[in-house]
Amino acid sequence: MTPFPEGFLWGAATAAYQIEGAADEDGRAPSIWDTFSRTPGRTRDGDTGDVATDHYHRWAEDVASMAALGLDAYRFSISWSRVLPDGRPNRAGLDFYSRLVDALLEAGIAPVATLYHWDLPQDLEDAGGWPARDTAFRFAEYAEHVGQVLGDRVHTWTTLNEPWCSAFLGYASGVHAPGRADAAAALAAAHHLNLAHGMANGALRGVVAASARHSVTLNLHHLRGDAEAVRRVDAVANRIFTGPMLGGGYPADLLADTAAVTDWSFVRGGDETTIAAPLDVLGVNYYSPTLVRDDGAPAAAHGHAEGAATPFVGCADVVFAEQPGPYTEMGWPVDATGLTELLLLLHREHPGVPLMITENGAAFADEVAPDGRVHDEDRIAYLRDHLAAAAGAIAAGVDLRGYFAWSLLDNFEWSHGYSKRFGLIHVDYPTGRRTWKDSASWYQEAIKG
Ligand code: FCB
């Protein structure tokens, strides 16, 4: 008996900048990831997404693979700067997604579209980026524009992917585009991403099919360790988003912990109501748990404005502790128990909110063997254990609606460039050739079963 309920969506996920390539084609304008990756020293080996997996040209072949895998759903993202380069509607850009959506539907695969997977149009960054309030308004316009064209066909809309990364890796630690290191700007960015989510959610509901589902995807940190350290990181990494998005507003302890960095005056009357626009499903990305310790500094030292090198603003006294292995190629510990715990925690704290695992997977040092195949036993074990962990959460009462493997294809892994392979399908970058890994065949069987 399968523990997965009727209607459970078996999927795989990708993101525009990581797979599309065609960076300068058909009217696309640069995003912050084009600028960042073309800046020396920002990505491993100077890798860029200029060509990536060439999905922009190979999308039909990729949809055929999805159909062969037996996917129920495909989670992809839309490139804002392809659709609205320099703020002007670009029909050729939208047509690409329109064709993709039609092909998915024809193959019986539900399109799950993310509007923002980190690729802010460069002109909007030049005008202030996410720390500027205006960006949220531009995002709502973009959402409405896309919704008008694809709104009759998209199954689930996701406003943002992992706004924590956009705000804190982009503007606090600066390891992601646009590469700024300014803790106060990062907190303002987090608020404007929240606001953008709420405004876009509202705008989409006005134009898309009534049957469409509305969601956001968060990389909730599953925290273990000393209670005070857990509380502080939970505030600035998780509750800064779940608080306002799920109707509770910004938590008081978050405002207190970050008071030395900002006075939060960028939050205006009515914003929290806008951000709390109803969600049909909450997307959860999970890779591994996080272990934190108090370093023993006196409480009075908390809250000082630390250097901007850490993405965990207001957590200068928290130590991020080493965890036992095994580890993936990212150096992330493999621990599926964290997934069950995280889902149960969310279910307890937000009982009425259906959940969906929108990313889960692992990078390993895959090689094409002499027999022409990729024998990625470690990825199969990872996926098997995490699916069992998801099943465990369902058995314990969690309303889980789907599971999306990250990723359909090997792709551009942000600052790591092409050095980390997460795909079910191997990509030979010089030729673009796709080869199913053993994990793809395994996932195909799992979906059948
Ligand atoms: C997530 C991102 C996704 C991918 C995986 C490995 O944080 O959403 O694009 O890079 O990590």
Q: Give the C-alpha separation, 326 to 342, whole Å.
A: 20
Main-chain phi, psi angles of 436, to 5 degrees: -65, 130
- pLDDT at position 296 is 62
Does the annotation mark 20 as catalytic? no
Closest CA to 150 of 195, 124, 119, 114: 114
Contacts of 20 (CB under 8 A, 6+ apart): 49, 52, 53, 55, 56, 79, 82
Beta-bridge mates of residue 121:
31
Fold classification of 9-290+329-448 is TIM Barrel (3.20.20)
Does the annotation mark 359 as catalytic? yes
- pLDDT at position 1 is 66
Report how far ligand 1's centroid is from the alpha carbon of 298 (Å).
36
Beta-bridge mates of residue 213:
156
Decide: 422 in ligand 1 pocket, CB within 6 A. Answer: yes
Contacts of 141 (CB under 8 A, 6+ apart): 203
Angle at 68 between CA 18 and CA 10, to 5 degrees: 70
Pairing label, strands 425-428, 223-225: unpaired
Closest CA to 114 of 172, 153, 75: 75
State what percent of residues in the chain have pLDDT above 70.
Answer: 97
DSSP letter for 3, please. -
Report how far ligand 1's centroid is from the alpha carbon of 242 (Å).
19
- pLDDT at position 299 is 45
Q: What is the pTM of this model?
A: 0.97
E strands, 308-430, are 318-320, 355-360, 400-406, 425-428
Report how far ligand 1's centroid is from the alpha carbon of 422 (Å).
9
Taking the CA of residue 413 as reference, the ligand 1 atom at the shortest distance is 10
Residues of the chain with pLDDT under 70: 1, 296-308
- Exposed e or buried b per residue across 229-241, where buried means at least 16 C-beta atoms within 10 angstroms of its C-beta: bbbbbbbbbbbbb
User: Looking at 125, 144, 162, 341, which residue is catalytic?
Assistant: 162
Tell me if 144 sits within 8 A of 86, measured CB to CB.
Answer: no
